[in-house]
Amino acid sequence: MDTERRRNLVERLSWDEVARRIENGAAAILPIGAAAKQHGFHLPLDTDRIQAEWLAAQIAGRIDALIWPTVAYGHYPAFVEYAGSASLSAPVFESVVEEIATAIVGYGCRALFVLDTGLSTRAPVDRALAQLGADNVLHVKIHEGARYRRAAKELAEQSHGSHADELETSLMLALAPHLVDMSRAEASPAVKGETPGPLTPSDLSSPNYSRSGSYGDPTLATAGKGEILLAAMVEDLADQVTAFLVAGKQVGRKTKGDISA
C-alpha cells in the first residue's frame, strides 16, 4: 500500500492524526460495499467492497479526505438464497449507517460523502442520512453520473442486466482481473420488467431464476470496457464532491452540532 493511500485511511492512523487532519479541513468518505453478496460464479462475494474502496481512494486523492472503514454488510434482500450472501433488515442497516455517520459528522469534518455501490441500499441510506440534521453530508451513488450512464449505454452489448453482468464484470476485469474467472461467467435469462425481484438459483419456474446469480451477460465483459467505465465514474464522482465542497464554502454549511447548539 502506497504512503499517500495509507495517510487517508482512518484505520491506519492514530486518533490524534485523525484529529489533526480534521482540524486542517479534511473531508470524510464512508464507503458502502458488500463483502458477503453473491456475484455469480465468476466474481467474488466482496466485489462491491473492492469497487467501493478503490473509488474512495480515487476521490480521496482528488480532495483532502479521510476514508472510514467500509460498511461491508447492508440491505441486499435479492441475493439471500445464494450461499454466503448476508443481508441486514432495512431498519438495522439504516441504524448502522446513521450511527456511524453521526459519529463522523460529530468530529467536525467539513463534509461527509457516503459512497454507495448498491441499488437496494439507496433508499435506506437516504433515510438514514435524513435523520442526521446536517447539511454537510452527501449520498454519492456510483452509477448515477452522466458520464457513466453515457459510457454504459454506448458500451453495453447485453440485452438486459444489473448485477454481475457485462458492465460490473468489465469493472472488475479492470480493477482486479486476478479475481475474475471468465471461464465460469454465465448469462442469465431476461425477466419481465426492467429489473428482477429476489433472484433464485433453485426455483426453475420463477421468473427470477438465475442459476449462477448473474443478471445480464457477463460473457461480453472486457477490461477495456471496464477502464472506460471506471474513468467515467471517477470523473462523475469527482465533479459531485468538488461541487458540494465549493457550495459548502459559499453558504457555510451547518453540522448537526451547529444545529443543536
pLDDT digits 0-9 by tens, 46-57: 999 999 999 999
Residue with cell 435479492: 78
| Cβ(75)–Cβ(96) below 8 Å | no
pLDDT digits 0-9 by tens, 179-218: 999 999 999 987 665 566 899 999 998 888 999 999 999 9
DSSP, residue by residue, 198-253: S-BSS-TTSTTB-SSS-BS-GGG--HHHHHHHHHHHHHHHHHHHHHHHHHHHHHTP
Reported confidence tier of residue 260, pLDDT bands at 50, 70, 90: very low
pTM (2 decimals)? 0.92
Spatial CB neighbours of 185, under 8 Å, sequence gap ≥ 6: 40, 41, 42, 169, 214, 218, 219, 221
pLDDT digits 0-9 by tens, 115-158: 999 999 999 999 999 999 889 999 999 999 999 999 999 999 99
> Hey, what domains does the chain have and what are their CATH numbers?
3-190+197-251 (3.40.50.10310)
